[in-house]
Amino acid sequence: MSPDHDPRGAPRTSLERVNPPELSPPAGFSHAVAATGTRLVFLAGQTALDGAGEVTGSTLPAQFEVALSNLLTALRAAGGDPADLARVTVYATDVADYRAHAAELGRIWRKLAGRDYPAMAVIGATRLWDEQAMVEIDGVAVLS
| pTM, to two decimals | 0.81
For 29-43, what is the mean pLDDT? 78
Q: Catalogue all structural domains in the chain, each as residue range(s) with its CATH number.
A: 14-143 (3.30.1330.40)
Q: How far is CA 103 from CA 29, 107, 108, in A?
A: 13, 6, 9
Q: CA-to-CA distance for 19 and 3, rounded, in angstroms? A: 23
Show the DSSP H helices in 1-144 as ranges: 60-77, 95-100, 102-113
In three-state secondary structure terms, 23 is: coil
For 39-66, what is the mean pLDDT? 94
Whether 144 shows a pLDDT value over 80: the answer reads no
Q: How many helices (H) and strands (E) does the chain have?
A: 3, 6
Average pLDDT of the chain is 90
Q: Residues 6 or more apart from 77 whose CB is under 8 A from it?
A: none
